[in-house]
Amino acid sequence: MPDADAARGPRGSRAARTRLPVSVVLLAVIGACATILPSVGLGTRVAWTRLPALLASEQARLALGLSLRTCLLATAISVVLGVPLAIVLAHEWPGVRVARVLAVLPMAMPPVVAGTALLATLGKRGLLGPLLERVGIQVSFTTAAVVIAQVFVSMPYLVVTLEAALRSRDTRPETIARTLGAGPATLLARITLPLAAPALARGAALALGRSLGEFGATIAFAGSRAGVTRTVPLAVYLEREHDTPTALALAVVLIAASFLVVGATGVRWDLLVRRLRARPSGSTAPGPAGSSAHTVSAPDDDPAGPLPPLPGAPSPRGRAVHLCFTASGRDVAVDLRIPAGRTLALIGPNGSGKSTVCAVIAGLLDAVGGEVRLGERVVDGPAGFVPAGQREVALLAQAPGVFAHMSVLDNVAFGPRCRGASRAAARQLARAELAAVGAAHLAERRGEELSGGQAARVALARALATRPAVLVLDEPTAAVDVAARQELRTLVARRAAHDGLTVLLVTHDVAEVAALADDVAVLDRGRVVETGPAARVLAAPTSTFTARLTGTTLLRGTLAGSPDRPRLRLEGGAEVVAAPLENAVERAGFQPGRSASALLPPEAVAVYARRPTDEISRIPGGSPRNALTATVREVGGNGGLVTVVLELGDGQSLRALLTAAAVAELGLRPGLPVVAVIKAAQVRITPRGSVVRNTPATR
């Protein structure tokens, strides 16, 4: 009986388990006996020593040969006809519920009734019998009748298994494949069915087992002619009276075949094949039970270091985007413009319509009554609709959606192949893109063997391999850790700058906005409530969401100093000392003079009345502090805390959060000169990519 509370693990640890009621365990034992004991009883009656001789008899050989031929043919027909039927039934259309019931009705139909129904349809006097007889075709009481009977009773097992799997499948890989240019046939052959392969294998195995054991419909529709229609089940039934040993021997064969067929569906054949292929080189290490093997030589994460060169010469190909549509069903009405080669960050609360905007631009949703224009090309409007994958738009979503059944190389080559590139050319481009994101060593791994950060980089390479003009990023870093998030952010920034891409970024991360965005649009309840340059929107938000989201000051400038003592040099000449860079990627890519941003919370800003002699900046020793001259621009807020907006010499804004008592004591009011003091430990520097964009500044 299962342990009530815990079980001893392989190293002596105890893993908690759920207690099972005693009644459940007893009933399970009785149920197991009810299914196993009959087979055991049959085994006690079989003449095991005579088994080879019994199976070599003429009657046994004829029955076994006929059963093998007919059940294999019936299974093949079931796959050819059942797979399309399951695909159709997995979709929603009027009357599909009734169709699903009719498709699986033979499973619940008594076998003799099934045979009678076939005879009434295809027999000499049946519905179609006379028509078939006129063209010289007789079906009933022939070997063809055996195959038809087996298909009739077994195909529903395949259909119901595959249809259930298709209805419950994750459709995100198919959505991604559409954005990469896959048509309906490619989508079905390379994505949908390969991902549903386990269910297809189980359904085919069940159909094979059912065909092998078919009796009632066969004897009613095909009869029992030795060598023509007498399959093994019929032979067992007919031989059990005058040749019991042969009947028992054939019964054992049926049970063994059924066990092997059904048991084969529980084997991880893909994992077994990979292990067998890898065994001679000894380059794999066993992973946890149920997990895929990883090569020992390839690390899960790339070491920090210089990023590899980008493929090809810089070639600005971004296009301006104009999106104007109203989706009444989703309560979204948006009018957005993104200049060519710039990045717009689209932020807003959950459910505000951000993903809807991404889907409309990518071509996954129709902008009913609106228009989507990429440059001078109208891809969605009254004149027509250009589907996803044909718009020069690449979509990178929250889940990387790496195709688990493909190698990484085939994942990245998928888009170019869908667009007509040869296999060799697509693979060459894929290797270049993988090298550009530092994932060349992953090329031969399967998609299911990647860590989160690796999958994110592969997904980026796959999207860029389609050579898009517009890159849509729908929170692509939401599912990865901090280090992987920074790596992906850096890769996106340098590639967008190198190719001059137009980027739409959906995010909830202020650091991402600082590192990537030129402009910001705030979406709330399906409407754009705020737009403008990123620095202005984040520093002085006018929407409730943005103020709640940021609570942070963003300053723009250029890098100075070193990774251990970084500084941000503002346009007016003032410098802000920040905390040492901790991220290995940021440290490796540190370049003085490179465009960067500084992030600091309003709680980190202390405000002092301006004096001719600033005592704060002259304190010797201690932790580094920044003292910036500023002017009070706004004073506002409710409750005990007051938000004070300060304007620096170069026009940028700084936010401070003070108590009402402090505001009153300092006499803060608009126009008053003050000194803002910030501890360096509370300032975070964020580089804006390895290549500076050739676009107008956003300040």
Question: How far is the C-alpha of 93 from the C-alpha of 347, rounded, in Å?
Answer: 36
What is the pLDDT, as a whole number, of residue 6? 44
Nearest residue to 522 via CA among 535, 503, 506: 506
What is the pLDDT, as a whole number, of residue 286? 39
User: CATH says 321-549 is which class?
Assistant: alpha beta
Take residue 436 and report the two structure tokens written for it: 């550009």
What is the pLDDT, as a whole number, of residue 364? 92
CATH fold of 46-270 reads MetI-like fold (1.10.3720)
Query: Which whole number is the average pLDDT over 80-97?
Result: 95
Count Cβ neighbours within 10 Å for each residue of 627-660 and write b for 16 or more, e otherwise: bbebebeebeeeeeebbbbbbbeeebbbbbebee
Per the listing, tokens 């009883």 go with 41
What is the pLDDT, as a whole number, of residue 639? 58
Backbone region of residue 666 per phi and psi (left: phi > 0; alpha: psi in -120 to 50; beta: other values): alpha
Q: Which residues lie across from 321 on neighbouring strands? A: 338, 374
Take residue 336 and report the two structure tokens written for it: 């957005």
Nearest residue to 543 via CA among 349, 283, 673: 349
**Residue 547: band (very low, low, confident or very high) from pLDDT cuts 50, 70, 90:** low
Take residue 444 and report the two structure tokens written for it: 């031969």
Average pLDDT of every residue of the chain: 84
What is the pLDDT, as a whole number, of residue 160? 95
Residues 6+ away with beta carbon under 8 Å from 169: 192, 195, 196
Query: Which whole number is the average pLDDT over 542-563?
Result: 79
At 634, is the secondary structure helix, strand, or coil? strand
Is it the case that residue 49 has pLDDT exceeding 50?
A: yes
> pLDDT: is 19 or 29 the higher one?
29
Question: How far is the C-alpha of 333 from the C-alpha of 352, rounded, in Å?
Answer: 10
Give the tens place of pLDDT for each residue, 668-678.
Answer: 889 999 999 99
Domain boundaries, the chain: 1-37, 46-270, 321-549, 552-687
Quote the distance between the C-alpha of residue 439 and its chain's center: 19
Percent of the chain with pLDDT over 90: 42
> pLDDT: is 399 or 307 the higher one?
399
For the beta carbon of residue 287, count every other beta carbon within 10 angstroms: 11
Is it the case that residue 695 has pLDDT exceeding 70?
A: no
Question: How far is the C-alpha of 488 from the C-alpha of 52, rounded, in Å?
Answer: 65
Which of 100-109, 503-512, 684-693 is predicted least confidently?
684-693
**Residue 285: band (very low, low, confident or very high) from pLDDT cuts 50, 70, 90:** very low
What is the pLDDT, as a whole number, of residue 125? 86
What is the pLDDT, as a whole number, of residue 390? 92
At 307, is the secondary structure helix, strand, or coil? coil
Question: How far is the C-alpha of 540 from the C-alpha of 310, rounded, in Å?
Answer: 37
What is the pLDDT, as a whole number, of residue 307? 62
Which of 9-23, 93-107, 520-534, 647-661 is predicted least confidently?
9-23
How would DSSP label each residue in 256-277?
HHHHHHHHHTTS-HHHHHHHHH
Is it the case that residue 631 has pLDDT exceeding 80?
A: yes
Nearest residue to 486 via CA among 457, 465, 458, 450: 457
Backbone region of residue 438 per phi and psi (left: phi > 0; alpha: psi in -120 to 50; beta: other values): left
How would DSSP label each residue in 320-378?
-EEEEEEEGGGTEEEEEEE-TT-EEEEE--TTSSHHHHHHHHHTSS--TTSEEEETTEE
Query: Which whole number is the average pLDDT over 576-588?
Result: 82
**Residue 612: band (very low, low, confident or very high) from pLDDT cuts 50, 70, 90:** very low
Question: Cα–Cα–Cα angle for 127, 130, 132, nearest 5°?
Answer: 100
Q: Which residues lie across from 198 on neighbouring strands? A: none
- Contact between 647 and 630 under an 8 Å Cβ cutoff? The reply is yes
Take residue 172 and report the two structure tokens written for it: 């995100």
CATH number belonging to domain 552-687: 2.40.50.100
Take residue 236 and report the two structure tokens written for it: 């067992």
Is it the case that residue 337 has pLDDT exceeding 90?
A: yes
What is the pLDDT, as a whole number, of residue 287? 40
Q: Tell me, what DSSP letter sits at residue 313?
A: S
- Contact between 40 and 185 under an 8 Å Cβ cutoff? The reply is no
Give the tens place of pLDDT for each residue, 405-427.
Answer: 999 999 999 999 999 999 999 99
Q: Taking each helix axis from N to C terminus, what angle separates 423-436 and 408-418, rounded to the nearest 10 degrees?
A: 120
**Residue 93: band (very low, low, confident or very high) from pLDDT cuts 50, 70, 90:** very high
> pLDDT: is 183 or 584 the higher one?
183
